[in-house]
Structure 1
Amino acid sequence: MDFNFSDDQQQLRDAVRRWVDKGYGFERRRAIVAAGGFDRAAYNELAELGLTALTVPEAHGGLGQGAADAMVAMEELGRSIVLEPLAHAFIAARVLSECADDNVQSAWLPRIASGEALVVLAHQERKARYRLDVCEAKAAAAPGGYALTAIKSVVPAGDQADAFLVPAQLDGRIALFLVERSAAGVATRGYLTQDGSRAAELSLTQAPATLATADGLAALELAVDTGIAAACAYAVGAMEQTLAITADYMNQRKQFGVPIASFQALRHRIADMKMQLELARSMSYYASLKLGEEAGERHRALARAKVQLGQSMRFVGQQAVQLHGGIGVTDEYIISHYFKTLTQLEMSWGDTLHHLGEVGARMQDTAGVFA
């Protein structure tokens, strides 16, 4: 299998990297965190780069690119731990283009592509514990559409988004709905998360909604798998930069009159970090390549990827802090922010233990080995 990137993908990587290096430095990120964890101007800059349109079909004003292109973009955003939730543009584009009817697609996909509309997935409930089939939200038919009553937690940029993809029970099964934030009965309470990004509690009380698809569980699984793949790519970029910052620090920090990078034991730890990064990178590629498979194989693959990424993120983040010493946990120094991002990512879209259970539950008789 050819793992080389195409010329277009390399140009995409270069364009995103230039924006990250010049337009999203540590000081800008700190300012965004201080202002609430989300900057619409920064999200609009991502749209101007064409990233919000990347996976939207060409028929709806997008670029019609695939999962590998999204992976390239997310890796580069991870290098500067960009706070704005571009992954949810990929999720909304994928779910609506594959699951929604033509009217919904025509109404929303062009707006997602242009960056005019930020549509985020709002699926987490307090009792679910990462299980997608646990859903207490209720939907009922209403004049002109449907009405939803629900409480959803940790919705990315929930008080800043323009609309939500919300799973809810309809006639005894889970369906997926679109709810506009400006609609009656919608209330949000925003807050900062541990990594500095913004999230919100979402409360819906008989809120008007549009049905995206009646087969909500399948659409929700697709959305979450797309989110996992994006998170894996983002984490690879974050770990790559974490390793680079740590190696640079070790070349500058001196003890006993020599750089600590000259100490063999510490060099071995850097080598172990690099090994975990490359393991994570290979599984991120695997995750993105498997997004096009049928649902069962796709879900197994994404669970495997999240297990490895979770292990790698925890190892790289913890080693980076230990190799920096006390400065590694101060808010003024950048490595602490990478550590918090990697720690939060490990628990996003299902933590490592949850996905280890998924891998075990979906293991076939061959245990992944050819008979």
Structure 2
Amino acid sequence: MDFNFTEEQEMVRDGLTRLVREQYDWDTRHGVIQSEAGWRPEIWAQLAELGLLGMPFSEEDGGFGGGAVDAMIAMEEFGKGLVVEPFVPTVVCAGGFLKHAGSEQQKAEHLGGIIDGSRIFAFAYAEPRGRFDYADLQTTAKKDGSGYILNGHKAVVVGAPWATHLIVTARTSGDQRDRDGISVFVIEKGADGVVTRNYPTVDGRRASEVYLENVSVPAEALIGSEGAGLPLIERVTDEAVAALCAEACGVMKVAHQMTVEYSRQRKQFGVPIGSFQVLQHRMVDMFTEYEQAVSMTYFATLKLDAPEKERKRAVSAAKVRIGQAARFVGQEAIQIHGGMGMTDEMAIGSYFKRLTIFDSEFGNVDHHMKRHIALA
């Protein structure tokens, strides 16, 4: 199998590397996440101008004919700079729902806005009691003439403070945990009855609690078939997991590099701590974990178009292995930096926080271990 990237993909990587290096240095990012806005719309506009927001979409849909590998490349570079702009919620999640199951009308209405950066989406799927189960829904969508009335509460909706639209999962029939009876809707965040409570997350991003109170949406808001949305949700979230794995690889690479550099500068007993063999071994172990994570990310990304069972097993295997690697690399980096590593004055603390939060997104290590075993 050829693991070499195309010339165009290498150009994308080089362009993003420069963007992150020149406009996403540590001090700038720290200032951005402390600001009231919490992100930079001008960076989002640059990503649109560079074609990155349209990269994974087909040319027929107005995109540039890329795919999951292109998203993987972008996410790894974003991870290196701890980029907070909502690429996964908007391009990977919302874009995934639209390109896999959106009607021609929905694609025409929304994809162009995603590609040019004017429409920003957040994916409202998690609920306070759901515990990684996409079928465990208390949010309901009841028929009202030709449309629907939505009621419910969605938790930790990443990117929602900046969003213009929401992708919402809701139960249209069946009991709370039935696999059937789940539907997916696209709604305007400013619609009547949508109430949000915004807050910063531990890793520097922004999220919202989203409350839906008798939100009326037309029939055209339904993505795909009514009541048959769970397989679509699982497909899109698997794509999101693969993208987040790539981001984690970028975070781990920089965390390892920072740790090696710090060990060369920090002195103890009159010599750099990097000269101590036990710390050298630990940093080699960090690098080994990172390399294995990269391999598993490639594996999961290349399996996204495989049959459902094969795709799920590959993605869960990657989430487990990279979740373990992220924890190890993050904790070792902090241990070698010492107490200062957890302060806001040192960048490594933010990389550690991002690696820690990674485990809880779209299912943690235990959840994906169980899913992988169940599919054996």
Pairwise TM-score range, normalised by the shorter structure: over 0.9
> Greater CA deviation, 149-158 or 45-54?
45-54
CA distances 1:239-298 after superposition (whole Å, capped 9, x unpaired): 000001111111111122221111111100000000000111101111111111122221
CA distance in 2, matches of 1:325, 1:47: 40
After TM superposition, give the deviation of residue 41 of structure 1 in Å. 2.6
Aligned to 1:203, the other structure's residue is in SS state: strand
Q: How far 1:343 sits from its partner (Å)?
A: 0.2
Secondary structure of the structure 1 residue equivalent to 2:354: helix
Cα deviation digits, residues 29-65 of structure 1 (max 9, x gap) = 1112112433323222222222111112212321120
Task: Give the distance between the partners of 2:240 and 2:189, measured in 1 at CA.
Answer: 21
Matches within 5 A, 1:1-80: 1-36=1-36, 37-80=38-81
Which 4+ stretches in 1 moved above 4 angstroms? none
- Superposition pairs for residues 1-371 of structure 1, below 5 Å? 1-36=1-36, 37-88=38-89, 89-143=91-145, 145-172=147-174, 173-209=181-217, 210-214=221-225, 215-363=228-376
CA distance in 2, matches of 1:178, 1:293: 27
* SS of equivalent residue, structure 1 residue 347: coil
Query: How many residues align structurally?
Result: 363
Long gaps (5+) in structure 2: 175-180
Cα shift readout 1:317-369 (whole Å, capped 9, x = no counterpart) = 00000001121111111000000000001111111111111111111xxxxxx
Moved more, 24-33 or 266-275: 24-33
- The farther-off stretch of 29-38 and 105-114 is 29-38
> How many angstroms does 1:144 deviate by?
5.6
Counterpart-to-counterpart distance in 2, 1:319 and 1:274: 11
The one-letter code matched in structure 1 to 2:223 is A
Do the aligned partners of 2:312 and 2:372 also contact (CA within 8 Å) in 1? Answer: no
CA distance in 1, matches of 2:80, 2:365: 22
Q: Deviation per CA, 1:183-217, whole angstroms, max 9, x where unpaired?
A: 11111110011101000000111213310122211
SS at match of 2:150: strand
Give the whole-Å Cα distance in 2 for the aligned partners of 1:321 and 1:140.
49
Report the Cα distance in structure 2 between the residues aligned to 1:208 and 1:309, rounded to whole angstroms. 41
Q: 1:38–1:157: 8 Å Cα contact kept in structure 2? A: no
| Greater Cα shift, 199-208 or 336-345 | 199-208
8 A contact 1:253–1:259 mirrored in 2:
yes
CA contact (8 A) 1:236 1:281 kept: yes
Provide the rounded CA distance (Å) in 1 between the counterparts of 2:348 and 2:299: 28
CA RMSD for the aligned pairs? 1.2
Q: Which amino acid aligns with 2:276?
A: F
Whichever residue aligns with residue 48 of structure 1, its letter is E
The Cα offsets for residues 61-84 of structure 1, whole Å up to 9 and x where unpaired, read as: 211201111100000010011111
Separation in structure 1 between the aligned mates of residue 333 and residue 52 of structure 2, nearest angstrom: 30
Aligned to 1:368: none
- Whether the 8 Å contact between 1:55 and 1:94 is mirrored in structure 2 is no
- Is this contact kept in 2: 1:179–1:207, CA < 8 A? no
- Asked if structure 2 preserves the Cα contact closer than 8 Å seen for 1:122 and 1:155, the reply is yes
Task: Check whether the contact 1:117–1:161 (CA below 8 A) recurs between aligned residues.
Answer: yes
Amino acid at match of 2:165: A
Look up the SS of the partner of 1:159 in the other structure.
helix
Preserved contact between residue 179 and residue 208 of structure 1 (Cα < 8 Å):
no
Percent same amino acid among aligned pairs? 40
Once the 2 structures are TM-superposed, how far is the Cα of residue 147 of structure 1 from its aligned partner? Answer: 2.1
Whether the 8 Å contact between 2:121 and 2:160 is mirrored in structure 1 is no
**Contact kept? 1:136, 1:150, Cα under 8 Å:** yes
